[in-house]
Chains A and B, each alone.
Chain A
Amino acid sequence: MPRWLHPGAWWLWALGLATAASRTTNPLLLLLIVAVTGWVVSQRKSDAPWARSYAVFLRLALLVIGIRVLFSVVFGIATGTHVIFTLPQVPVPAWAAGVRVGGPVTVEQVLLAVYFGLGLAAIMICIGAANSLASPSRLLKSVPPALYEVGVAVVVAMTFAPQLVADVARVRSARRLRGRPDRGARALAGSVMPVLEGALERAVDLAAAMDSRGYGRTAGVPRRIRITSGALLLLGLLGMCLGVYGLLDVGTPGTLALPMLSAGAAAAVVGLLLAGRRGARTRYRPDPWALPEWLVIIAGVVPATVLIVVSVQDPFSLLGQSSPLAWPSLPLVPAAAILCGLLPGLVAPRPPGITAPQRVQALDDPRPKVGIGT
């Protein structure tokens, strides 16, 4: 039965892989992570507009690698001995000692830049995978009740953006009809006011409509609880930020990061639960959380955990080495852990609206001729 997997599960899976990617600069492992996300996206993306964002993120990732290499070529310090070419060196004043512009460029140096760029690129691609697999508006639907108002604001903003684009086009054509310039800076300046006026008018209309439809009906909640919940939320989020930083930064001891993260998360959850009591609203067809969701999360948690553990115990094995020049080795345990990330491509339900790939059936096949996805 096709259904949407809970968007939270997709995000946790993707963040797990991203965490794994942040722990290594080994190009083979990074490429493996990218391949894993690519395969899962190809298996489980829908035909919705947001599903196309994976390709956009891929391009962005290539751009990141390119910029990284460019900087290394122009400003980087040459390491190793295999010089590819030599850029004319720009002499820098004495006070800028340590900065180098131009000079010899080596293979080792460029490779190292590629590896580091690849690390960042892999993280971006993981985020892109989550973006293309999980519907943004469904994700917002599953935010905790306390954040409901914020969620609605974001949904409204998302629907406003395309309308704003349409407004700009309309105002531009109206300017042309008036016999005024419709291109260039002056035209742009002239169309700002009408577009803003239109947006404001629509915002007022929407506010009236939302009010008439019961937006903001609240159950009475004592002031003390409101303040407590707010404080808990704030502290919790702060703790989680510090914890995540510690977890991702190789230099911080893991003993500090994990307790910080869990304490922060606990405080935030309590705060959210308390704050959620003030809304009187319910939720239509919430996405269920069932076995596939758990499996998808596990598929993200395993690579993250394994790579964190390995990076603490044997940090050397996860580093991409470029000098001396050598073909990078593939550490087996991390690679196997990353391959766990493929699981969602098999266990996650297909999204509605796409059909299973047509099976080729032999003519004498007695089974009914029906695909999986129908």
Chain B
Amino acid sequence: MIRFEDVSVTYDGAAAPTLSHVDLHVPEGELVLVVGRTGSGKSTLLKCVNGLVPHFTGGLLSGRVVVAGRDTRTHPPRELADVVGVVPQDPMSGFVTDMVEDELAYGMESIGLAPPVMRRRVEETLDLLGLAELRDRPLLSLSAGQRQRVAIGSVLTTHPKVLILDEPTSALDPGAAEEVLAALQRLVYDLGVTVLMSEHRLERVVHTADRVIVVPGDGGPLRVGTPEQMMVDSPVAPPVVELGRLASWSPLPLSIRDARRAAGPLRERLATLSAPRPAPRPTATKYAFTATDVVVRYGPVTALNRLSLRAANGEVVALMGRNGAGKSTLLGALVGLLRPAAGSVRLGNVDPATLRGRDLVHHVGLVPQQPTDLLVADRVDSECAASDLDAGAAGGTTRDILERLAPGIRGRTHPRDLSEGQRLALALSVVLAAAPPVVLLDEPTRGLDYPSKRRLGKSLQQLASQGHCIVLATHDVELAAEVATRVVVIADGELVADGPAASIVVGSPMFAPQVAKVLSPLPWLTVTDVAAALAGAS
């Protein structure tokens, strides 16, 4: 169905080819997962399939890519629209119309299908993806998971033989991610669609894949194989695989179910060892921040409903909950961007909404969902200098912090050219330059691969041990299990659960990390803990 023959791609001005000499064949009806570090060329590989590389992005492509018998050299993306459906990373950026039904029909209108066919396919697609209730809704009013499903539906209506998805679940909460994956599996099993997708959150998708393509990122050859083969030594692997590697299970389990079957002996052994003790909660009398009965409204919608939360220095609080639960709103209120309609927010004894300029950055810092929002300069050097100036810190402060968080970034680089992890590190350094006691992060792991995530986790723990109070809003249960001393679950603007990470996430089917699911009822959360316990015992 998709055939790459000796394909190399070199972007304009790049020193080395992004992909070199790729030979690849994806047969019909397979669900293929593309994995690799950030910046390894996954997106380029995906964009080659429908000709966006090189027709749209520019650059030099040698060799040839043939999809359903059409060569992308002679067929620009629009001529492939009836065979290849592409769902971009941010579905909102690809929407052309403003209503769900029109969006589903748009692609069919472009390729000129007869009206009765269009009508039938729209109805079928609405049913297939469970969108029937949403047909008359404006796209702007949908939740992130619903948008992702509409985006998939809007390319499905043209009945493409190939579906390309770039990180379809990275912005979704665990529940919405499962909805999207279930829809994808139905397409593969029932309709025989060939699916090629990239995803950093392997723990969500790896067990659904028929094959895995590992993009090494150093220009080396692609490695293709079954997930079991590939996960043995893949540079990126989900926790369940890491646990399997640690316990040397063979074959390597990919799903929780397989791992639980293999985990009997390990559970018995771990039961004799003392479980990792949750870090003692700092018994503070003074809190870094106190939010009392906070109410925030957007028009008629109540985003936070009498929510109270406080945290002490040295704590790492993970805010969890589905998309739209009010996590970002709470962070906005803590940093004073949103003025509560009722209740109060205090940092120490100051109201953040009254702080301006330098006063604010010395009290609290927020790394927004898109770290680039925070960046102003066109070079890393000047960004660091500007940050020192903004924070009133000694020259070189930001650069030193950045060097600790992400060593080896060249000063001349444009922030937009950094990898996701480096960009996050830069934004975090900017925030830390003012040494605020309270550091907030909104969805920091979006687009981060496992190694970058691990580094972020370490940095956050270090910051906490230096006395910062850290709050991160995240869907990433693995990160929360790794770094959080406390987990707070929010639903519909209300606080639902609050307690030590172990006691909150272990019992929850939605928020439990993979290791906890495999080893349940034992209270181990992370591979690191298990490894440490085993090493201590032997």
Binding site for B on A (CB under 8 A): 137, 141, 152, 155-156, 158-159, 162, 170-171, 173-174, 176-181, 190, 194, 202, 205-217, 280-286, 352-353
Among B85, B94, B105, B136, max chain A CB count under 10 A is at B94
**C-alpha spacing A141/B110, complex, angstroms:** 13
Among B109, B113, B122, B358, max chain A CB count under 10 A is at B109
Contact A155–B96 (Cβ < 8 Å): yes
Contact B118–A284 (Cβ < 8 Å): yes
**C-alpha spacing A170/B368, complex, angstroms:** 9
6 closest Cβ contacts across the A-B interface? A214-B81, A209-B94, A214-B110, A284-B105, A179-B361, A205-B93
Whole-angstrom distance between the Cβ of B363 and the nearest chain A Cβ = 10
Contact A217–B430 (Cβ < 8 Å): no
Tell me, yes or no, whether B246 is within 8 Å of chain A by CB. no
Whole-angstrom distance between the Cβ of B470 and the nearest chain A Cβ = 16
Binding site for A on B (CB under 8 A): 50, 52, 55-56, 76-82, 84-86, 88, 90, 93-99, 101-102, 105-115, 118-119, 122, 136, 140, 154-155, 158, 332, 335-337, 356-358, 360-361, 365-366, 368, 373-374, 376, 387, 390-391, 430-431, 434
**C-alpha spacing A352/B135, complex, angstroms:** 13
**C-alpha spacing A211/B111, complex, angstroms:** 11
Residue in B closest to A136 when the chains form the complex, CB atoms = B98
Contact B357–A174 (Cβ < 8 Å): no
Whole-angstrom distance between the Cβ of A22 and the nearest chain B Cβ = 33
Contact A211–B77 (Cβ < 8 Å): yes
Whole-angstrom distance between the Cβ of B168 and the nearest chain A Cβ = 15
Among A206, A281, A284, max chain B CB count under 10 A is at A284
**C-alpha spacing A179/B389, complex, angstroms:** 10
Contact B112–A282 (Cβ < 8 Å): yes
**C-alpha spacing A215/B77, complex, angstroms:** 9
Contact A213–B119 (Cβ < 8 Å): no
Contact A215–B76 (Cβ < 8 Å): no
Whole-angstrom distance between the Cβ of A250 and the nearest chain B Cβ = 41
Contact A208–B56 (Cβ < 8 Å): yes
From B78, B376, B387, B431, A217 is in contact (CB under 8 Å) with B78
**C-alpha spacing A157/B350, complex, angstroms:** 43
Chain B residue contacts of A285, Cβ below 8 A: 101, 105, 115, 118-119
Among B110, B111, B337, B390, max chain A CB count under 10 A is at B110
Contact B115–A284 (Cβ < 8 Å): yes
Contact B77–A217 (Cβ < 8 Å): no
Whole-angstrom distance between the Cβ of A65 and the nearest chain B Cβ = 32
Contact B155–A213 (Cβ < 8 Å): yes
Contact A284–B102 (Cβ < 8 Å): yes
Q: List 12 A-B contacts (CB under 8 A).
A: A176-B360, A177-B374, A178-B387, A178-B390, A179-B434, A208-B56, A209-B94, A210-B96, A213-B86, A214-B110, A215-B78, A217-B81
**C-alpha spacing A282/B114, complex, angstroms:** 7
Chain B residue contacts of A158, Cβ below 8 A: 98
Chain A residue contacts of B102, Cβ below 8 A: 137, 141, 284
Whole-angstrom distance between the Cβ of A131 and the nearest chain B Cβ = 16
Whole-angstrom distance between the Cβ of A45 and the nearest chain B Cβ = 16
